[in-house]
Structure formats: C-alpha cells, structure tokens
Amino acid sequence: MPPPALQPRSRPDLGRIEELAAQALSTSRPLSSQVLQYLLAHHEVEGSEVVPWLREKLPSLEGYEQDLLLSPLFTPEEEVRLEFERLLGESWLDPAEVEAFIQRLAGRGLRLTLLHEGERLDAPLPDVAVERFVRLLHLDSELPIDALAPFDPVDAEVRVQLRDAAWRRPASRALLPSLLRAALSVSEGFASTVRFLTDFVRTYRPASREDCIAFLDHLAEAYEVDLQNYQSGLRSFFDEELKGSYGGKWKVPEEIVAEHRARAALARAIRGALAAG
C-alpha cells in the first residue's frame, strides 16, 4: 500500500497580509531615543533642528545610512509580528513570494510619518525601511509541523517564537521536540517558556540534549550568582568614576531581582525535565 499523500500546505491570504503591512509601515512613528542619539552622534543634530534636518537630508542619504537611522523604527516588535502570525496560521510564504511582496509594497508609494516635539515630517517611505520590516517578520520561516503536531493547537504566541532564525539551525530543529516537551512540563506558561528557550537556543547554540543540560546549568548558575550579589539589593561598581558618583553602590531595581530569580528557576526546571527524559 502506498504511503498516504501529504496534505497540501494551507495558503495565507496574501492580500490581507499586504494590507496589514502597508498599514503598519504607514503608521505615525514618534522618533525614538535611539534615533535621536544617532542623529546627535553622527550629524550633531538635536532638538528643534531634528525635523527640518530630516526633511532636507533624509531623501538624499545613501540606503545604508537611511537603514542605520530608521532601523529602530522599522524593527517589528513581537506585538506587531503577532498580528501577522494570526493571518499566517500554520502556513508560510516561499522566499520568492517574500521578494515579490517587498517589491509590491515598495511600489505602492507609501509615506513615512515621523513625530517629534510637536512637529511632523511626511516623506516618501525609503525602500530600505520596507525591506527591513518585511524580512524581520519572518514570513518565509517554515514551521516544523510534524514536531508541533503533539502540541496542537499551537497558539500564535508560540508560533511567532518558532519562526525565529534561532530554530532554523538543523541542530535546533532536531532538539525542538524534546525542548517543547520540557517546556510543557514546567509550571510557567507554555508560550513564555518557548520564548525563554528561543533566547537560550539563539545564545548558546546547543548541538545535543547534553549540551542543553550543561548550558542550562551554566545559565542558572549565572543568574544565581547575580542573585547572591543582589542579596543586599546593592551591586558594586567596577568603574571608579561611576563608583564615586554613586557612593560606591547602586540599588538594583526589584524587578530585575525578580526577573533573574524567575529565569534561574525556569532554567533549572527545564534542565530537570530534559534530564528526566
């Protein structure tokens, strides 16, 4: 008997995705602190000079300069990526479709709207901003459908993490089923644990279960050392000038202490689940 035919991959609604992208690209954006710092450091522009300078100079900058300047504004945050994820479902685009998608958006004559200190800049949206935004949506990132089947239905919050480039490495794909089972077994929410594992895999690049166990031990120990240093709620300075400015100590915000405590516990819990098989 021949093997059962694979079900064809569902196709997303490209029209809806394109309209969502056009809307997201065209929305008004306040200038972020990173953009303002870049303008000051590289062009000595600040305050009331910012918008007039951008109005005059932005269109004539080289593409790489436009990208360096605007990249903080056109790096989609997770909340934005989730909007696209809900349209993608368990599907994805082919690389050629992404290229055509970028070209269509670039040809739509979209406008850039920047806000700063009560002033407004309206200008043509640079092509580099369109390309950056679309590529960082990971619309062509193939989901490991077979590995996800035991966890069906998989929420958009989980899928958006699994489209991250960290999971495209063959070793990461091979480890994914056991890491997902470990994530499901811990008391933290599944989506937040997968987010933690995505950061972990991106940073440590484990090649085996044994690597994961050893690296999670290392990560937990690093957080625990931090927590020991935070016992008094204070952290020492290594820079003598800063040390003098702050009287030798700086109070560690409680939210940082709580986050490190939670991440140490999560690393230990996942490590234990992996070790138990």
Place 245 in a pLDDT band, splitting at 50, 70 and 90: low
Q: Are residues 209 and 252 in the same domain?
A: yes
d(CA 45, CA 65): 15
The confidence score (pLDDT) of residue 232 equals 58
Residue 150 is which amino acid?
P
Where does a domain end: 114, 135, 156? 135
- 238 in a domain, yes or no? yes
Q: Are residues 153 and 271 in the same domain?
A: yes
Q: Are residues 77 and 191 in the same domain?
A: no
Please give the average per-residue pLDDT across 243-270, as a whole number.
79
Tokens 């470990």, residue located? 182
pLDDT at 7 over 70: no
- 140 in a domain, yes or no? no
List of residues 6+ apart from 9 with CB closer than 8 A: 91, 92
Where does a domain end: 110, 135, 160? 135
d(CA 223, CA 225): 5
What does the mean pLDDT of the chain come to? Answer: 90
Q: Are residues 99 and 157 in the same domain?
A: no
Compute the half-sphere exposure of residue 188: CA atoms within 13 Å on the CB side of its CA.
Answer: 22
Q: Which domain holds residue 24?
A: 14-135
Sign of CA dihedral 235, 239, 244, 246: negative
Q: What is the pTM of this model?
A: 0.83
Domain count, the chain: 2
| 133-154 tens-digit pLDDT | 999 999 999 998 888 999 888 9
- Percent of the chain whose predicted confidence (pLDDT) is above 70: 90
pLDDT at 248 over 90: no
Where does a domain end: 135, 154, 177? 135
Q: Are residues 82 and 101 in the same domain?
A: yes
pLDDT at 1 over 70: no
Q: Are residues 49 and 126 in the same domain?
A: yes
Q: Are residues 180 and 117 in the same domain?
A: no
Q: Are residues 150 and 130 in the same domain?
A: no
- 76 in a domain, yes or no? yes
| 175-201 tens-digit pLDDT | 999 999 999 999 779 999 999 999 999
Tokens 């406008």, residue located? 111
Q: Distance from first CA to last CA of the chain, Å, rounded?
A: 35
Q: Are residues 163 and 82 in the same domain?
A: no
- 227 in a domain, yes or no? yes
